[in-house]
């Protein structure tokens, strides 16, 4: 295995790792936003009564 092949493999692994981490963070952020939005909607609805 040459150095260029090794660097390509490591780069691919790094990109895959960052993609997985980014996806996990994105899911967490979306859940957090959705939860906050639902609470805000309930608060808004409760305030109208």
pLDDT in tens, 30-45: 999 999 999 999 998 8
- For the cut 90, the answer to whether the pLDDT of residue 24 exceeds it is yes
| C-alpha to C-alpha distance for 36 and 30, rounded to whole angstroms | 10
Residue with tokens 């150095």: 3
How confident is the model at residue 46, as a pLDDT? 82
| C-alpha to C-alpha distance for 22 and 26, rounded to whole angstroms | 6
Query: If you average pLDDT over every residue of the chain, what do you get?
Result: 91
| C-alpha to C-alpha distance for 2 and 41, rounded to whole angstroms | 58
10 CB-contact burial (10 Å; exposed 0-12 / middle 13-18 / buried 19+): exposed
How confident is the model at residue 49, as a pLDDT? 53
């Amino acid at each position: 295995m040459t150095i260029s092949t090794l660097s390509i493999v490591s780069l691919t692994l790094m990109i895959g790792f960052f993609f997985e981490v980014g996806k996990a963070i994105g899911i967490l952020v979306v859940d957090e936003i959705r939860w906050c939005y639902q609470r805000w909607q309930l608060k808004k609805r409760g305030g109208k009564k």
